[in-house]
Each structure stands twice: as structure tokens, then as C-alpha cells.
Structure 1
């Protein structure tokens, strides 16, 4: 190989490698940044890990992508709503009525609009002498709380420090740690539920009964997120909060921006659906009364079944009884003349000799003579009823054989074709 050819090959390989490298660098697909707290998200701020775990332990685990005022009827269901956004007052009221029927809800996050508890800013220790003033300490606390809340909502991968929490009301005595940097705390008043998880600043999780159901609020959604689900005592806390014999577990996705439009029967008002059903029923009754039938078309048997031998026998007996056998033979002669006109073009007034002459060029001599005899107007010569009947039968049979020869569907009765 020449030096120039080798150089061209190396340059071509170099350009191909550069092209592939640029394609990998520029065309690398970017992962979509999903919103936080999605039950089907594998990001660090998603809830997919807990959803898959629940699917292994419960028969029915799914998503709810409609408004809360359209929640399914029945009891025994658990609705998990992690930081739902844009919940209207009508939906909160509908959720409250839904809980009264024996269902439960687990709310996660700082939800100031929820109607079950009041949220406080938590407890802050008083500064000692020589430390910054109270106003300065309050400002620094507010800034740190705002920063922690911003990091939490932004879904950063930086893990917040763990702090000691008291979960004896939920898990029994023990040392538990959890992320508890969220500034709001739950104000649990006497007779309005019980505190489940607390720290030195207040209540982090609480539950209260609502009719036959219950409502649970945890201000820290990071306890359930993928990136921090195994940190500290988060797994134990969430397992206890989710414990129960639920018939169905629903993750709320409607307030994360994922909705499913209801069907036409759910959108249309019930009076309109009822009126449409009655109108359709009236239309079907009108068609039925007008004689319309729905089903296969049945053809009467007498239109499809060929007449049997009994018809011919009946006609023969009728002709014989009334002495009309000569008329029957005349009908047979007219039928033969009609077939001769259709097949061979002979005129209807052709004589028997002319028909026999035309038949000699097509049939045998014997068949031509039979055709001439069949076309001759000869009354029955036999004396007596039985003899006349035998002669009539023989002449009718001969006429039938000649008609079959004209149709070309049978062999000649006698002799051979030329």
C-alpha cells in the first residue's frame, strides 16, 4: 500500500473517532428533572422506593390523578399526599367528609392550609449572656430555617444532619434520630389528636380521628424520600405511620401536576345521561313497533327447496283423471320447440322433418327419428285406461330424454353421437 493511501485511511479513522466523540458529548440525553415527592420518580427526592415496598406487601397500590372531591366511595383506603400544591378549600372539605366514612390520609410537608392542625414556628432557646441578642438570634434562626426549607424544596442531594427525636408514642421507648430541620411544628391541643413524633422544638408528626377514619400529618417529607429513606430512624418512623390493614393505598399525583381527564360518562351531568338513555329506549321501542327486527334474515323454505317428485306425480294424476294426457303431450311438444329455437335457432313453426334434418347433423339417426316422433301431433292410440297411461308415460319419458340432450346435460338415449 502506498504512503498516500495509508495516510488517507488514518485521517478517515481519526475523523470518524472525532465524530463519534462529539456525538457522545453533545448528544448525550439529559435526565429529566422530575418534581419532588412523585411516587414514580427514582430521583433522590422521589417516593418510588416506598411505593415499590408497599406494592410487595399490599394487593392494591396505585395513583390518584383526580380532585379530592372525586375520591372513590367506600372505606379502608389510605391516601398519601406528599406536599400537595394548590389544594382548594372545597377539596379539603371533601377530604374531611371522605375520612368520616372510614378512610385515612397521610399528609407530608409544611401544609399551612390543611384544616386538621395549627402549625407553629417551633421553640427557640433563649440566648445566654455574652451571646448575640434575641433579635439577632431570631434573625439567624429564621435565615437557617429558610435555608433548610429552600434546600428541602429544591431537592438537593446534600443530606441534612440528624437530630434526636422522641417517637415512644409511635414505636415505643428507644433512641431515635431523624431529620427535623423544618421550622414549622404541629400545635397539638387537648382533645385534637395525639403527638406521635416530637423533638425539643415541638411536634413533628401527629394523628387525630376524623369520624370513622383518621388524618396523620408529618412535617418532614424527607422521611419518605428515596435519598433519605434509610437515614437515621426514617424507615421505622414511616413503617409505623403507614401501618394498617388497608384495602387500597393511593398516592396523590393530581396536586403534583399529573391529572387524568374523567370519561364522558363522568363529565356529563346525570340528568342528561338519564334523558339520553330514555330517548334511546324510546327509539328502540318505536323501531320495534314499526316492525323492524334485529337478527338474521331467514328465507322461507319453499323459496330455496326444489320441488320433489310428489309435484310431478300429482300433476300426472290430475291430467290422467280428467283425460288431459293429450294436452300434457302438447305442452311437452311446445317446450321442445322452444328449446330448439333457443339452442339451434329453428323457428317455432318448423315441421318435425325440418327438426329431424337439423338433428342428424348433431345427433345419431335414431335420436333424430325420436325427435321427429316427439314433435308429431299424434293423439294417444291405446285403448283402455291402463294402456293409454303406459303410452303416455313412454312418450313423456322420450320427450324428457330429448330435452336433456338439447341442454347437453345427458347422453343420448339410443344410438351414438356423430
Structure 2
């Protein structure tokens, strides 16, 4: 035994050092940051709404999450209840729309903070031609300093009561329903986020719009986000199917391995990485940012989007904007024709400008990247 240990001393020492390094790496590795969706009521990120919700709870208001279907509130007393919806999913069916309308007709109150109220309620909006981040908003509460982030304004009807306006149009309205029900629509959901709620007079505006003292219970609607109560993978498919699929996966891997296939990272030649890597793209991006050539950078992004659409559909890059609108409506059936038309019209107005501000560049980069990603998935 001693002779065996003496012969294997180097191997044993290597295994001990490897075990120590493995344990140390596990103990010292920090947990990755959790990725929260935007407007999540439990998100501490800048785009979350956790600060506003916790401040209400600490102030003694009855605030809860509504992570179930709205039919859950049918047997509750709705007269003094209110639901707050913050930029919910646009993909809703008629049954869901009718459920919210019935809730309003039963005497409930809904505060809708979102840029697409038409998806849930019969509240029409229209895009604005000019954008000004710093502005003065006016309402029955008075005048306030605010930063506006949205490109939509509300088209109020004769029955609507205008609550808040700016120089570009209507930002918030109130609409009465049967049995004392009330719908309040605000097209600036960013005011509720952790990063913006304490900017300028955003908190005063929100507290003036939402009368928490009037409601016995306030529900933050999280059901439409789809982030809660999602079934696990093993709950979607039956156990025999999963067993067969896993068995086939293992057998396929073993067969490829026995056939000589080796798994690992493909190594590119160094000259190819250096000549055709990201260095040129990064250099162009840094030059555009430092030179504040935001308008030119947007034009380049639009050309890239047109080239991508050409590769997918054969539509020439010199096609008219109306042609691109028809192509996008065909490629993106999950989006409404109105949202695509608004994107198209607003993008034309932006490209016709001589210069673009940094905020416009950041906003349009996000919107173009979103469309580009959806086109690439088609």
C-alpha cells in the first residue's frame, strides 16, 4: 500500500489540489443577477415598479398582486376596489377584454398605464410628430414638471374627462361606466418605474391621478404579464414522451460519439477573426457616438433592417415605405396593423429630420432592434 501511494503521489496531489480549487470556486462564485421583465411589480431594477408598490404598502394602503384571472374578483366587493395595469401584453382575446369591461360595469375602477390602451379598451391614440422630453403637463391638479417618454397621445371622446395634457396632446383621461365604474388611462407608464418615479413631479402627478384613499383594496394586475404560474417543462408533456425523448437524445449522442464526432468549440483562424471580427463595427459605433452623428447612425440601422427584409422576402431596399409596411404586416402577424403603421410613420418623420438627439437615438435604436429581432425569427 505504501509503495502504491508513493508511486501515485503526484496523481493524488493533483486530485487534492483540483478538489480544493473546485470547492473554492463554488464558494467564491457570486450568484448571477436575476433578469426581471420591464414594469414588474417585484423588480428592483430601474425598469421595475417595486419602489412604488413598497412605498404604498409602507404607507398603510391595501395593495396586493392580482396574479390570477380577473374572474377571481367576481364575488368581491368591487365598488371600493381598483386595479392598476402597467403596460400589459398586447396579445389579448375577446374573452379577456369582456372580463375587464364587466369588471368596470360592476362598479370597479381600472387605472391603465400603457401605450396601447386600444388592445384592452375602446380608447384610441395617435402618434405625435415632435418629441420633447422635458415639458410642462397641466390638469385639474395644476401644472407640473415632467419628462415624457411616449410617442402616443389619447383621442378623447365627448364622454371622457381629460385629466392631464401637454403641448402635444392628451396624456390621461377618465371614462365612466355603469354602477360607478371608472376607467383611467395614462399613456406614460415609465413614470411608475424605479428610475423615473422621483424625477421632476412624477410622484405628485401619480398621487393626483390615483386616489388611494378612495379605494379599500388596490390590485396590481400581474396576470397579463405571463411571468407567474407558468407550467414547468415536465408539466406540459406526458412522462412517457419525455422518457422516450431523453432516451433518443442519449442514444443519438452516443452514436455520434462512437462515429468519431467530437463536441467542442470551433476555433477560427486568427487572421479571419482579426480581419472580419467586431473591431471595425465597434470603431464605427464609437466614431458615431463621439461625433454625435445620431441621425446618420439611425439611417445606417434602417438600411441594415431593409437589407435584412430583402434577404427574407426579396423586397428591394429602394422600395417605398408603403411597401415596407405591407411586408412587415405579413412578416409580423402578431403585431397590429396600427402599431406597424405608427412605427412606419414615426420612423419616416424621424428620418426626415436633419439632426437627432441622444434620447431619440436611444429610443429609436431600441424600437428598430425589436423589429429586427422579430424579423430575424420569421
TM-score (norm 1): 0.46
Per the alignment, residue 247 of structure 1 pairs with: 216
Provide runs of 4+ in structure 1 moved above 6 Å.
Answer: 14-21
Q: Deviations over 1:65-109 (max 9, x none)?
A: 122244343221110111111332222222112112221111111
Instruction: Name 2:165's counterpart in structure 1.
Output: 198
Residues in 1 aligned to 2:93 and 2:144: alpha-carbon distance in whole angstroms: 39
- Mark the CA change 1:29 to 1:193 in structure 2 (over 3 Å): closer, same or farther: same
Q: Which residue of 1 aligns with 2:64?
A: 62
Q: Is the 8 A contact 1:223 1:229 kept in 2?
A: yes
* 1:83 and 2:67 correspond: no
Q: Counterpart of 1:274?
A: none
What is the DSSP-based 3-state SS (H/G/I as helix, E as strand, rest coil) of the residue aligned with 1:237? Answer: helix
Separation in 2, partners of 1:32, 1:56:
25
Alignment check: 8 A CA contact 1:123 1:202 kept: no
Q: Aligned-pair distance for 1:21?
A: 7.6
Choose from 96, 101, 105 the match for 2:106: 101
Gapped regions of structure 2 (runs ≥ 5): 1-16, 231-378
Deviations 1:281-336 (A, max 9, x none): xxxxxxxxxxxxxxxxxxxxxxxxxxxxxxxxxxxxxxxxxxxxxxxxxxxxxxxx
C-alpha spacing 1:200/1:82, structure 2 compared with 1 (3 Å): same
Secondary structure of the 1:197 match is strand
Which residue does the alignment assign to 2:198? 230
What is the CA-CA distance between 1:192 and the residue it aligns to? 2.7
What secondary structure, in the 3-state scheme, does the structure 1 residue paired with 2:115 have? coil
Q: Within 5 Å, which residues of 2 pair with 1:58-207?
A: 58-72=60-74, 73-74=76-77, 75-85=79-89, 86-111=91-116, 112-124=118-130, 162-169=133-140, 171-172=141-142, 174-178=143-147, 180-189=148-157, 191-207=158-174
1:38 is displaced (CA, Å) by: 1.4
- Over 3 Å counting, the alpha-carbon distance change for 1:102 and 1:58 in structure 2 is farther
Gaps of 5+ in 1: 1-13, 125-140, 142-160, 262-418
CA contact (8 A) 1:68 1:92 kept: no
Residues 238, 175 of structure 1: CA spacing in aligned structure 2 closer, same or farther, 3 A cutoff?
closer
Distance 2:153 2:190 in 1: 15
Q: 1:187 to 1:31 in 2, by over 3 A?
A: same
Equivalenced residues, count: 211
1:214 corresponds to 2:216: no
Identify the residue that residue 361 of structure 1 maps to in structure 2: none
Contact 2:113–2:185 (8 Å) recurs in 1: yes
> Which of the pair has more CA radius of gyration?
1
| Distance in 2 separating the partners of 1:239 and 1:31 | 32
CA distance, structure 1, for counterparts of residue 60 and residue 135 of structure 2: 31
SS at match of 1:255: helix
- 1:163–1:17: structure 2 CA closer, same or farther, 3 Å change rule? farther
- 1:243-291 CA-to-partner distances (Å, cap 9, x unmatched) read 1411101011111114459xxxxxxxxxxxxxxxxxxxxxxxxxxxxxx
